[in-house]
Amino acid sequence: MRRNDGRRPPRNIRGYDRFSDSRPNRSGARPQGAKPRAGKRNYQEMSVDISKLVNKAQTLEETPAFTPIHKFTDFPIDERLKDNIVSKGYALPTPIQDQAIPHVLKGFDVVGIANTGTGKTAAFLIPLIHKVLRDRDERVLIMVPTRELAIQIEEEFYGFAKRLNINSVTCVGGAGIDPQLRVLRRHPNFVIGTPGRLMDLIERKALDLSNFNTVVLDEADRMLDMGFIDDMRHIMGFMPEARHTLFFSATLSREIEKLIGAFLKDPVRISVKTRDTAHTIDQDVIRIEPGRKFEQLIELLKQPEFDKVLVFGRTKHGVERLTKDILRAGVPAESIHGDKTHGRRQKALGLFKQDKVRVLVATDVAARGLDISGVSHVINYDLPATYEDYTHRIGRTGRAGKIGKALTFI
């Protein structure tokens, strides 16, 4: 059963919608009646500074090309792993991979400050798979805020670990726990999970972390925002003090610094974070006449250049209604939000990624962690709660050197 996430109900600000969405369903929720978590984000109303929502993308020539120091063949890793890297189409490391992999291979704790879409998953998976190949008793915990990110990491893992006889299990809410329990009994080398499900498994004594010597905390800022700080501390308390810890975050706040101080020892710090608002995104606002909001949306979606569009709404129920209305207007669409089952969310994402539907309507559960290539437009149908949420939303477009477009309805 999900608990109330404690946020204030949505209110109207200056005549504009305010974003508010409840926590994803059991991707990491605590038992009902538990004490409030420390570190919960205080959601304030987003002040509408129109100038921040309008920005002209730089041309590609204005973006300096990155020249890595290493090639993947330069890294001292297992040759079979190198073959899998090549077969996945990886040629040269991204900045976070180029800088982080050597330090992880040497066993240093690492703090990586990097946006989603920078290749950070491979930056920790590649050296950790090599670590397991060297010692088959090595076990790795990867903790993430959402089930979508967990599934994404699992997919990346199996690409790198192909034919290497290394197993993993993904432990997330919204999916049946019995299959996860069966795989855990076989002691897989990698456990990828969300805090709530990991807590469930620890309480059931199905997951013993005392022999996990490596942990990855991915999108730690998002876990902090979602109120998982107590669960994170509790889970880490079951691990050996002498451990290898990798910590990734898109932001570096005072709270994040406290976590780094609590969880890591003399970490190497790597920052490849770009500016807050992606410079490869054209941003603009669309002023909507009263009563024409949906009509304006459909007019846009029916234009041919809107070929792969993420539409962000305020609430789970609102997103579901909007998706049905878009479908009735003749535009193929799917939705993703916290009330959908794990299987239905994965199906919706798969259809969108495979270009079988042109439109994915989402709450902010999709704003972080998802790596969806080729998104042409992001439309903020409802305003987000904060400017930080806005930047994460629009960051789903304008990736891999391509110009994207973000439109906000006002």
Question: What is the tally of structural domains in the chain?
Answer: 2
pLDDT for 399? 73
Are residues 188 and 315 both part of a single domain?
no
Are residues 230 and 309 both part of a single domain?
no
Are residues 240 and 314 both part of a single domain?
no
CATH code, domain with 298: 3.40.50.300
pLDDT for 51? 67
Instruction: Give me the residues paired with residue 215 across strands.
Output: 141, 245
Of 236, 271, 306, the residue at which a domain comes to its end is 271
Are residues 170 and 283 both part of a single domain?
no
Judge whether 35 lies within some domain. Answer: no
Whole-number CA gyration radius for the chain: 21
User: Using alpha carbons only, what angle is made at residue 310 by residues 309 and 314, rounded to the nearest 5 degrees?
Assistant: 145
Are residues 158 and 195 both part of a single domain?
yes
Helix (H) / strand (E) element for 182: namely: helix 177-184
Are residues 248 and 363 both part of a single domain?
no
pLDDT for 163? 94
Judge whether 398 lies within some domain. Answer: yes
Judge whether 402 lies within some domain. Answer: yes
Cβ neighbours around 12 below 10 Å, total: 9
Instruction: Give me the residues paired with residue 163 across strands.
Output: none
pLDDT for 323? 96
Are residues 105 and 240 both part of a single domain?
yes
pLDDT for 387? 77
Judge whether 41 lies within some domain. Answer: no
Q: How far is CA 261 from the centre of its chain?
A: 23
Residue 379, class by beta-carbon neighbours within 10 Å (0-12 exposed, 13-18 middle, 19+ buried)? buried
Judge whether 195 lies within some domain. Answer: yes
Are residues 172 and 210 both part of a single domain?
yes
Are residues 83 and 190 both part of a single domain?
yes
Burial state string for 110-119 with b = 16 or more CB within 10 A and e = fewer than 16: bbbbbbbbbb
How many alpha carbons lie under 13 Å from residue 241 in its C-beta half-sphere?
1
Judge whether 116 lies within some domain. Answer: yes
Are residues 110 and 254 both part of a single domain?
yes
Across the chain, which has 410 residues, the per-10-residue mean pLDDT values are 38 32 38 39 50 65 67 94 93 92 97 85 97 97 92 94 95 90 96 96 96 96 87 95 94 88 95 66 89 94 94 92 95 90 86 93 74 89 84 80 87
Are residues 189 and 337 both part of a single domain?
no
**Structural tokens at position 201:** 């498994």
Give the residue numbers spanning the domain of 287: 50-60+279-409
pLDDT for 61? 46
Instruction: Give me the residues paired with residue 246 across strands.
Output: 110, 216
Are residues 258 and 283 both part of a single domain?
no
User: Model pTM?
Assistant: 0.67
408, amino acid identity: T
Q: Which residues contact 164 (CB under 8 A, 6 or more apart)?
A: 78, 80, 81, 84, 129, 133
Of 244, 271, 298, the residue at which a domain comes to its end is 271
Q: Which residues contact 85 (CB under 8 A, 6 or more apart)?
A: 72, 126, 160
pLDDT for 154? 95
